[in-house]
Amino acid sequence: MTKLNSSKPRKYFGTDGIRGRVGVWPINAEFVLKLGWAVGKVLARSGSGKVLIGKDTRISGYMFESVLEAGLSAAGVNTHLLGPMPTPAIAYLTRTLRAQAGIMISASHNPYYDNGIKFFSAQGHKLPDELETAIEEQLEQAMTTVDSAELGKALRVVDAPGRYIEFCKSTVSSDIKLNGLKIVVDCANGATYHIAPNVFRELGAEVIEMGVEPNGLNINFECGATHPEVLKEVVLREKADLGIALDGDGDRVIMVDHQGHILDGDEILYIVVNHRLEMGQFKGGVVGTVMTNFGLEQSLLKSNIEFVRVPVGDRHIIAELAKRNWNIGGEPSGHIICSDAITTGDGIISALQVLSALCHQKKSLYELRSNLKKYPQILVNVTVKNNSDPNHSPRIQDAINKVKNTLGETGRVLLRRSGTEPLVRVMVEGIDATQVQAFASELAQLVQEELV
């Protein structure tokens, strides 16, 4: 076999698979057909097996599911079709069903007109760099079809949702009962619509469902983890104990307490870590990202818990956790990693970790997060041209340095390109909320002038 050059620049793969606008190369039927074939050819080198395919609820999932299956079949690989399932469920089922790989068709929190392809290894982890490189090299070859007798077959897995519901429940102690709790669950009209409400209901909660009527076009639309203010309104109106908002593919979670306070990933991470400390089950340290609020870092340090920052993205968090043999990490967007439970971010399982703390400590969600003092942090998203980079603008860099000098050691400023959308994210954090807002607005305006 040809030696792989994993350091070669990627043409297709980004930080989390391949993602883009549906119908615009490479997120079109022709490319994804060949992608399925390339994946099949690479996997076939290490023996025959099967590949799982799952998807979220966006309308283009039907098309991409079909062409991926066709491409894999042409390469002689069998496929097991799971239908609409959360991304972390694909990671879990790939491992437990002993598949060679898992494929998730999703653009996560993006609108319906985007889509993407994510891959998982046989162990339920993101594909290693060398496999992604091998797939890209295979894509440069002419597509061929194996002999008819060797074509791959397809099988529909009908019990996938039930398998995953039972797994989610198994990640918390058997003494966890949610009886007496009224919970609003917003599934973002996405992949958890037929799973998440059942998980919490089967554990005893009274569940009020939101975002459980996907039509292919309404995924993430004014609902779910990207729009928690909608959940907040329902929690207050229904006088619920708390609310849980998932995103379109179910790998992130945002929560709302009974008073209407929205809890982001930092606050959820704080609750999970402190509960494990309380139970004597915490080991090692915590991995956050460059976006993690400084207040969380300070709180952890006061408890003598080591804290490490990595670039944005659950891939980086998972890699750092593995390197240090730690279990807990996360980011403000709601990706929480409990690697002793599952190999990737999982919104349902993260929410269950919080509910475990609520049950064991007999406190409300509001009380569980009340001791975390977050620094005022403003995040502004600026739409820019596709290849625009704030690091290449001297004016922007000069402005960043001036803000940093003013904030000193009591604040932070960060400008970064989104890995999934044509956006520059401007983040400013400090003690003075008015000053932070002014600096964020100033930098966002400058980015717009320079890069739009």
What single-letter DSSP state applies at residue 59?
T
Catalytic residue (choose from 108, 333, 350, 388): 108
Phi, psi (deg, nearest 5) at residue 366:
-60, -45
- Select from 54, 35, 34, 191 the least CA-distant residue to 112: 191
CA distances (Å), 232 to each of 86, 236, 242, 252, 290, in order? 23, 6, 9, 17, 27
Neighbours of 79 (CB within 10 A): 25
Q: Which of left, alpha, beta for 341 (phi over 0: left; psi -120 to 50: alpha)? A: alpha
**Counts for the chain of helices (H) and strands (E), in that order:** 14, 18
HSE-up of 194 (CA within 13 Å, CB side)?
A: 14
For residue 418, give the amino acid letter.
S
Report the side by side order of strands in the sheet with 336-338. Answer: 307-310, 286-289, 328-330, 336-338
Cβ-proximal residues to 162 (8 Å cutoff; 6+ apart), any chain = none
Give the whole-angstrom CA distance, residue 58 versus residue 220: 10
Could you tell me the two tokens for 297?
Answer: 């870092």
CA 261 to chain centre: 22
Distance in angstroms (rounded) separating the CA atoms of residues 189 and 214: 5
End-to-end alpha-carbon separation of the chain, Å? 46
Hey, what are 214's tokens? 């996907």
Closest to 334 measured CA to CA, from 349, 356, 355: 349
- Is 148 part of the annotated catalytic residue set? no
CA gap 343, 359 in Å, rounded: 25
Q: Work out whether strand 242-246 and strand 253-257 pair parallel, antiparallel, or are unpaired.
A: antiparallel
Q: How far apart are alpha carbons 306 and 88 in whole angstroms?
A: 27
Cis peptide before 9 (omega within 30 of 0): no
What does the DSSP assignment read for 233-294?
HHHHHHT-SEEEEE-TTSS-EEEEETT-PEE-HHHHHHHHHHHHHHHT---S-EEEETTS-H
The catalytic site residues sit at: 108
